[in-house]
Amino acid sequence: MKISAILLAAGGGERLKSPAPKAFVKTDGREMFLHSLELFENSPEISEIILVVPKSEISLAKKLTADFQKISKIVAGGNFRQKSLEIGLQFCSEKIVLSHNAANPFATKSEISRLASSLKKYDAAGAARRADSTVRLETKTLPRQKIWLMETPQIAKKDFLERGLKIANSQKIETTDEIQLAELAGARIKILAADSRNRKITRPGDLPKENRVGLGHDSHKFSEKKKSLILGGVRISPTGGLQANSDGDVILHALTNAISTALGGGSLSTFSDAMCGRGVKDSQKYLAVVLTKLKKADFTIENLAISIEGSRPILEKHFPKIRKNLSKMLALESSRIGLVATTGEGLTAFGRGEGLQVFVVVLLKSL
């Protein structure tokens, strides 16, 4: 079975509160509509793709989709969904048409295959979710076990869509999906359960949260000069400090690196060296730089894990103070901050007491 796929990506971003058209909002690191294009590109049933976008975004769409082989046409959509479908349908060369909202970026191959198979007995089929809440009209409760909440993809024989459009246009009916159009033309309809991941993104709360992981590392040897040992912003002792131009807070240095890498940035030294040259020695000030970047990028810290290697001093007794101070600096519950220490069996210079090294792993979540 050969199928023409119409990807409807012409909607605005008003309900999503986005200045960009909805389909061009990024989710999981890329423009929303590209997820569906990749699905279609890798689905053997689909022979061609017609991409329907806002007129203002045609140039950008062509640039973003240059590597997709199945796209046969990129066209400007209409003022509402039915019109966009009608425009896309004109360019479909196959007798079977699959339509899909770009706002459903996480549809699956399985859904496409199941919908295609259903046309052996039916004229049209669509993915949907059963209602799981009580559903009411204003005056009465409806039996939710008989109610489906429609999603896409949806599939239909092309002639039923064409006839449905003629009826809808002549009777001034504005349909909201292709199942409704096919139904107007008398099609036999099959509803199939959508994959749990396949949900339409309409409002900001529908966007999946993006997670990022950062890894930071730093190490310093002990200073021969009298210098305070500061770790995690806490003064551990008046002596036994670490050799560095700054206060040598190896925990905050590794933490700063971890957050920076999660945000796609560089190492601590890219900005701390200049700050240190201006006399800024407090590592909490360095951390503040990446925390500002974190806020601007609309991410928050979900949790972090800190591993310290060294044989001296014994640090576990200081962990409550370090954890409390980190919690305050990061506005993070102390239960989300893990701290461990190891001597490494004395196999490294740190385990032999020559300095300290720290590894930090941080998990960020988009707001």
CA distance linking residue 263 with residue 170, whole number of Å: 54
pTM given for the model: 0.73
Q: Each residue of 281-319: pLDDT tens digit?
A: 999 999 999 999 999 998 999 999 999 999 999 999 999
Q: What is the pLDDT of residue 256?
A: 98
With pLDDT > 70 as the criterion, what percentage of the chain qualifies? Answer: 100
**Mean pLDDT throughout 52-69?**
97
Report DSSP letters for 157-207, one per residue.
Answer: EHHHHHHHHHHHHHTT---SSHHHHHHHTT--EEEEEPPTT-----SGGGS
Q: Evaluate whether 25 touches 117 at the Cβ level (below 8 Å).
A: no
Q: Each residue of 235-248: pLDDT tens digit?
A: 999 999 999 999 99
CA distance linking residue 178 with residue 190, whole number of Å: 12
The pLDDT confidence band at residue 336, using thresholds 50, 70 and 90, is very high
If we measure between CA atoms, which residue out of 101, 134, 128 comes closest to residue 114? 128
pLDDT surpassing 90 at residue 124? yes
For 224-230, the CB contacts below 8 A with 24+ separation are: 229/313, 230/283
**Mean pLDDT throughout 199-222?**
92
Q: What is the pLDDT of residue 300?
A: 96
In CATH terms, the superfamily for domain 211-366 is 2-C-methyl-D-erythritol 2,4-cyclodiphosphate synthase (3.30.1330.50)
Residue 118, helix vs strand vs coil: helix
Q: What is the pLDDT of residue 143?
A: 92
Residues of the chain with CATH 3.30.1330.50: 211-366
Q: What is the pLDDT of residue 13?
A: 77
- Determine the topology of domain 3-206 in CATH: Spore Coat Polysaccharide Biosynthesis Protein SpsA; Chain A (3.90.550)
Which pairing describes strands 234-240 and 228-231: parallel, antiparallel, or unpaired? antiparallel
Q: Each residue of 7-36: pLDDT tens digit?
A: 999 998 788 888 889 999 988 889 999 999
**Mean pLDDT throughout 82-105?**
98
